[in-house]
C-alpha cells in the first residue's frame, strides 16, 4: 500500500484518452468497488495498454499495480466527497479549456486533424475528459488539504539529518547562483526603413498583383515557425499575441490584408482566414530588420559602461539589472537572477549552465562580473549580457551548515509521505472495498483487504 502513495496521481494524458476512444470494445464490468466509487475492467485495460505503448514491461504484476493505484485514487476521491470537497464547474471548464487548447496549439488549431487523430470531436473529447478530470482535481485537492497540516520544526530537520548514516549522506555537486544584465541590439533607422519598404512591396504584390499570400510567406517570411506553413498561425484566443499585432488582427474582415504592423519582432502583414467567437485564424508574413555589426558594437559598448558603473560603486548589479536589462527576459523580473528551469530555484549545478556562462565564470569568484557575452536566442537572434556570480559552493558531502534548505525539503517530504501513508491506511480501514475474484490473487490487493 505504501508504494501506491508515490504513484497515485498519474496525470490524464491525451494518449490515454485516445485509447479510451478506440478500445471500448472490451465487454465492460465493475471489477472493484471503493466506497461509492467504481473501477471498471476497461479502466485497467486502458491504462495497461497505455503503459505498454510507453515502454512499460508487460509483467503479470502490471495489472495488479494499476488496479492498486486506481483503488488508492478512488479512496481519496471517496473521502473527498465525504468531506464535501468541491470542484466548481468553472474550475473544471477552465482546466478542460487549457488541456484542449494546449493540444490544439500543437496541431496548429486544426480541429479537423484533431477529430481524425482522436476519432472524436473537440466537444466529445471534453465530455470524455470531464469525469476523470473532476476526480483527479478532487484527489489533488484532498491530498493538498491533508498535507497542509504537515509542518516541520528545526529540531525535526536535525533529527532527520542525524538519522542518515554518514556514509549514506549524498555528495553534492558544485552549485552557483548567477545574475545577468541583458541588452538587445537596437535596430538602426536605415535598416528599419529598408524592412518597411520590403513589406510594402510584398503587400503591393498581393493586393495589386494578385500573388498568393501563403506562397510569398514561404518565400520571404523571417518567422521560421510559420513561414514554411505559408504563414499559418492556426486559431488563437485574444491575449495570445503582442498588443500591436493583436490590435491590428481583431479589426480585420475575413480575407482582408492588413497594413504593415510594427512590433518588437519586425514588420508583419496579416490576413484573417476565419473568426470563431473570441478566436481568430491568421496567417502572416514577418520581415525582420537586419542587425548590423555596428548595432552589435553599440550594445556591447552600452554593457561595458553599465559594468563600469557597477564596479565603480555607482549602482549595484541588481539596480543596474532593473534599469538596463531587457524586460522581455525572465531574469528581469527576478532582480536579474537566472532561474533553473529544472528545479525552479536559482541554484545551478555547473553542468546545467549554458556553456557560454559556464566557461565565462570558471575562474571567477563571488561578486565578480564577466566580460560581455553573446546570448543566443532560440529564434536565432543574438543579444548580449554580462553575468555576476552571486554565490558558489564547491563539491561536498551534504551538511546542515551548507545545505539546510535542501535537507529541510527532504525532511518535510519524508514527513509528508509518512503522514499521508498513515492517513490513507486509516481510510482504507473504514472504507467499503469489494474486489472481483479474478484480482484477489494480487499480493498487494490481498494486503490492502487485510488492512480493511
Q: What is the pLDDT of residue 200?
A: 97
Residue 255 cell numbers, joined: 480575407
- Segments of the chain with pLDDT less than 70: 1-27, 446-452
Q: What is the pLDDT of residue 22?
A: 45
- Do 116 and 127 meet the contact criterion of CB atoms below 8 Å apart? no
Q: Which fold has domain 189-287?
A: Chitinase A; domain 3 (3.10.50)
Q: What is the pLDDT of residue 448?
A: 66
> Would the CA dihedral through 235, 237, 238, 244 be positive or negative?
negative
- Do 215 and 322 meet the contact criterion of CB atoms below 8 Å apart? no
- Do 297 and 316 meet the contact criterion of CB atoms below 8 Å apart? no
Do 2-152+414-451 and 189-287 have matching folds?
no
What is the CATH class of 175-186+292-397? alpha beta
Structural domain boundaries of the chain? 2-152+414-451, 175-186+292-397, 189-287
User: Residues of 384-414 as b/e, b for ≥16 C-beta within 10 angstroms?
Assistant: bbbbbbbebeeeeebeeeebeebbbebbbee
Reply yes or no on domain 2-152+414-451 having CATH 1.10.4030.10. yes
Residue 86 cell numbers, joined: 468541491
Q: What is the pLDDT of residue 449?
A: 66
Q: Based on DSSP, count helices (H) and strands (E) in the chain, helices before strands.
A: 17, 13
Kindly report the pTM of this predicted structure: 0.65
- Do 282 and 160 meet the contact criterion of CB atoms below 8 Å apart? no
Using the 8-state DSSP alphabet, how is residue 345 labeled? S
| Distance in Å from the first CA to the final CA of the chain | 12
Q: What is the pLDDT of residue 452?
A: 58
Q: What is the rounded CA–CA span in Å between residue 350 and residue 338?
A: 13
Inter-axis angle of helices 293-311 and 317-324, to 10 degrees? Answer: 150
Amino acid at each position: 500500500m505504501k508504494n501506491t502513495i508515490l504513484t497515485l496521481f498519474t496525470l490524464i494524458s491525451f494518449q490515454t484518452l485516445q485509447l479510451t476512444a478506440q478500445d471500448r470494445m472490451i465487454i465492460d464490468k465493475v471489477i472493484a468497488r471503493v466506497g461509492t466509487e467504481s473501477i471498471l475492467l476497461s479502466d485497467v485495460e486502458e491504462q495497461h495498454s497505455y503503459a505498454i505503448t510507453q515502454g512499460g514491461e508487460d509483467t503479470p504484476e502490471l495489472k495488479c499495480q494499476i488496479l492498486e493505484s486506481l483503488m488508492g485514487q478512488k479512496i481519496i476521491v471517496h473521502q473527498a466527497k465525504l468531506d464535501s470537497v468541491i470542484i466548481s464547474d468553472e474550475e473544471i471548464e477552465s482546466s478542460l479549456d487549457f488541456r484542449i487548447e494546449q493540444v490544439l496549439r500543437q496541431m496548429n488549431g486544426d480541429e479537423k486533424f484533431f477529430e481524425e487523430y482522436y476519432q472524436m470531436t473537440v466537444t466529445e473529447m471534453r465530455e470524455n475528459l470531464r469525469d476523470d478530470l473532476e476526480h483527479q482535481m478532487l484527489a489533488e485537492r484532498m491530498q493538498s488539504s491533508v498535507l497542509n497540516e504537515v509542518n516541520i520544526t528545526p529540531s525535526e530537520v536535525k533529527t532527520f539529518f542525524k538519522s542518515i548514516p554518514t556514509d549514506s549522506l549524498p555528495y553534492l555537486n558544485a552549485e552557483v547562483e548567477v545574475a545577468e544584465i541583458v541588452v538587445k541590439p537596437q535596430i538602426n533607422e536605415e535598416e528599419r526603413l529598408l524592412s518597411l519598404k520590403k513589406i510594402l512591396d510584398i503587400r503591393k504584390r498581393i493586393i495589386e498583383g494578385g500573388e498568393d499570400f501563403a506562397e510569398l510567406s514561404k518565400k520571404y517570411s523571417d518567422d521560421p515557425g510559420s513561414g514554411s506553413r505559408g504563414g499559418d498561425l492556426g486559431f488563437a484566443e485574444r491575449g495570445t499575441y503582442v498588443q500591436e499585432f493583436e490590435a491590428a488582427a481583431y479589426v480585420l474582415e475575413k480575407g482582408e490584408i492588413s497594413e504593415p504592423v510594427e512590433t518588437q519582432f519586425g514588420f508583419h502583414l496579416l490576413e484573417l482566414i476565419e473568426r470563431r467567437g473570441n478566436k481568430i485564424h491568421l496567417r502572416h508574413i514577418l520581415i525582420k530588420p537586419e542587425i548590423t555589426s555596428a548595432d552589435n558594437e553599440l550594445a556591447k559598448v552600452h554593457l561595458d559602461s553599465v559594468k563600469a558603473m557597477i564596479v565603480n560603486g555607482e549602482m549595484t548589479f541588481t539596480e543596474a539589472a532593473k534599469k538596463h536589462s531587457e524586460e522581455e527576459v525572465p531574469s528581469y523580473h527576478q532582480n536579474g537572477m537566472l532561474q533553473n528551469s529544472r528545479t525552479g530555484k536559482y541554484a545551478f549545478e555547473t553542468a546545467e549552465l549554458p556553456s557560454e556562462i559556464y566557461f565565462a565564470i570558471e575562474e571567477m569568484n563571488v561578486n565578480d562580473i564577466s566580460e560581455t557575452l553573446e546570448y543566443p536566442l532560440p529564434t536565432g537572434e543574438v543579444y548580449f549580457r554580462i553575468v555576476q556570480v552571486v554565490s558558489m559552493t564547491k563539491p561536498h558531502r551534504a551538511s546542515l551548515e551548507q545545505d539546510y534548505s535542501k535537507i529541510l525539503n527532504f525532511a518535510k517530504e519524508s514527513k509528508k509521505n509518512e503522514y499521508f501513508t498513515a492517513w490513507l491506511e486509516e481510510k482504507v480501514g473504514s472504507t467499503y472495498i469489494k474486489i472481483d475474484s479474478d484480482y484477489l490473487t494480487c499480493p498487494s490487493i490481498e494486503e490492502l483487504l487485510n488492512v480493511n
